[in-house]
Amino acid sequence: MIIRQIRPEEKDKYNGVVTHPLQSWEWGEFRKLTGVEVIRMGLFDGQKIVSGFQVTLHPVPKTAYFVGYVPKCVMPDEQMIQALKQVADQYRCIFIKLEPNVGTVWQEDNNLANKPLTDFLLSKGCVYGRPLFTKYSFQLDLVKTEEELFMNLKQKTRYNVRVGQKAGVQIVEDNSPKSFDEYLKLTFETTKRQQFYAHNADYHKKMWSVLNPSGMAHLLKAVYQGKTLVTWVLFVFNNFLYYPYGASSSQDRQVMASNLMMWEAIRFGKSKNCQKFDLWGSLGPNADPKDPWYGFHKFKEGYNPALIEFVGTFDLVINPTAYKLYNIADNLRWKALKLKAMLPL
């Protein structure tokens, strides 16, 4: 088998073997619009593509170096590690961050089960890195019937869904420019209210300009008495539904529009023949009620999804000295972003 770069005419074959939207061809095209260089590689058995992965290259400001990122990729093997090192050498990467899309339903002994995988990565020059994706996520099995899914909701969540239905909240798919503008407005209202960092409007617009025409990204909104209370962007990719972006108004919280939105998103996924619904992150087992994300975690938990634990985040270190300096600067950057999120508009 050989690893080589993917050619444009191999787009559909490449998409057929990757397992997450962030590894899709379309996501790479979007990232190019943001000024990021994208390298796509495929493992081939003769003419047949067996697996693939996509590296985004991010310049380190005021230096000649780059950082590589491979989010939600296949589990690296020896051949992939060597290919990544070649990319790193060619593009002067300090390190390449790996977050394999390899997870199982959480159990107490998952660390033991994952040990051969983590030991392999650690033996190949990787170290544990700062996560960009949470190590845990929630996933719902959409193969179940709609009736089974509804009865599996926790009692309070089921009650809240019915509140939204009785109040007359309407959930519709609306991919129009006007609705996308509403999504952006609510996104920045939400991030300011909850004091967390989000990508800027240009990032979201470029993402939408590629992923919506491709059929991957869909915008759902919850409307109550003529007002849009909630907007979500959902991804559909290879029979999986994903919930990467959502925003809500502080108005009319009593009608439980977000609860109804999640239920209708489940129904939307079933209509698209999706087999799983990934809720894009959770706090993991024994979540701390004092964690700022605890409310969002509990909201998702109300739909009774399975808790999935992933292998984790690893940095394939190429330049150890520069890596140490980078981490010092990166820690300062994250502190600045947190401070910026807390400042008034």
Same domain, yes or no: 74 and 152: no
In the sheet that 103-105 helps form, which strands lie side by side, from edge to edge? 103-105, 306-310, 136-141, 276-278, 240-248, 227-237, 217-224, 170-173
- The SS3 assignment for 207 reads helix
In the 8-state DSSP scheme, what is residue 75?
A: P
Residue 20 has pLDDT above 70, yes or no: yes
Same domain, yes or no: 147 and 40: no
Same domain, yes or no: 83 and 223: no
Residue 345 has pLDDT above 60, yes or no: no
pLDDT at 108: 81
**Amino acid at residue number 204:** H
Q: In angstroms, what CA-CA distances link 10 with 22, 164, 238?
A: 17, 45, 17
Same domain, yes or no: 118 and 221: no
Q: Alpha-carbon distance 95 to 319, whole Å?
A: 7
- How many domains does the chain fold into? 2
Same domain, yes or no: 115 and 166: no
**Amino acid at residue number 237:** F
Q: pLDDT per residue over 145-155, tens digit each?
A: 999 999 999 99
Same domain, yes or no: 230 and 324: no
Instruction: Count other C-beta atoms under 10 Å from residue 242's C-beta.
Output: 24
Q: pLDDT per residue over 289-318, tens digit each?
A: 999 999 999 999 999 999 999 999 999 999
Sequence-ordered list of residues with C-beta below 8 angstroms from that of 249, at least 6 positions apart, any chain: 186, 189, 227, 228, 229, 230
Of all residues in the chain, what percent carry a pLDDT higher than 70? 97
Q: pLDDT per residue over 193-215, tens digit each?
A: 887 778 999 999 999 999 999 99
Same domain, yes or no: 64 and 87: yes
Same domain, yes or no: 102 and 178: no
Say what the alpha-carbon torsion angle 39, 40, 46, 49 is, to the nearest 10 degrees.
170
Q: pLDDT per residue over 55-112, tens digit each?
A: 999 999 999 999 999 999 999 999 999 999 999 999 999 999 999 999 999 988 777 8
Identify the CATH number of the domain in which residue 299 sits.
3.40.630.30
Same domain, yes or no: 240 and 333: no
Burial class of residue 291 in the structure, from the number of CB atoms within 10 Å of its CB (0-12 exposed, 13-18 middle, 19+ buried)? exposed
- Tokens matching residue 49: 């593509």
pLDDT at 45: 96
Greater pLDDT, 337 or 262: 262
Same domain, yes or no: 280 and 329: no
Same domain, yes or no: 127 and 227: no
What residues make up the domain containing 116? 2-134+312-342
Q: Rounded to two decimals, what is the model's pTM?
A: 0.94
